[in-house]
Amino acid sequence: MSESKLKLALRGLAFVGAFALFTLGGLYMGQNKLIYPTSLPFQHPHQNPEGYRHPGERGLTYKDISAKSGDSVTIKGWYIYQKRPLSHPTVVFMHENAGNIGLRLDFFEMLYH
């Protein structure tokens, strides 16, 4: 291999290495923004499109519930119940980190029926 081809190959290898390092470094530094997005269009269920604001919009019987943690954080949710609750299992659902619980109503409706 001639010296000019060797230099060209080393430059190419250096470029690929720098690109990989830059890409991996960017992913590492921005991983929290990828996993925990903060700028979603709907922060609260009342901002959702019709049919995604509360279970009642889909004919599901529910009531609003809340619990206060030891550090005074209030956690809100919905208790969606059947007309004969003893003949149906109870499911506790903790939704993902993006969006809000109203965006999961398709899943709740499927479980309900």
Q: Is 48 exposed, middle or buried (0-12, 13-18, 19+ CB in 10 A)?
A: buried
Concatenate the DSSP letters of all residues of 19-87 into one string: HHHHHHHHHHHTHHHHHS----S-SSGGGSPTTSS-GGGGT--EEEEEEE-TTS-EEEEEEE--SSGGG
CA distance 90 to 67: 18
What are the tens digits of pLDDT across the range 38-81? 666 777 888 889 999 999 999 999 999 999 999 999 988 899 98
Q: Which residue has the higher pLDDT, 67 or 92?
A: 67
The tens digit of pLDDT for each residue in 93-110 reads 877 777 788 989 999 999
Kindly report the pTM of this predicted structure. 0.60
- Per domain, the residue ranges of the chain are 3-35, 45-112
CA–CA separation, 71 and 50 (whole Å): 34
- Grouping H, G, I as helix, E, B as strand and the rest as coil, residue 56 is helix
The one-character DSSP state at 60 is -
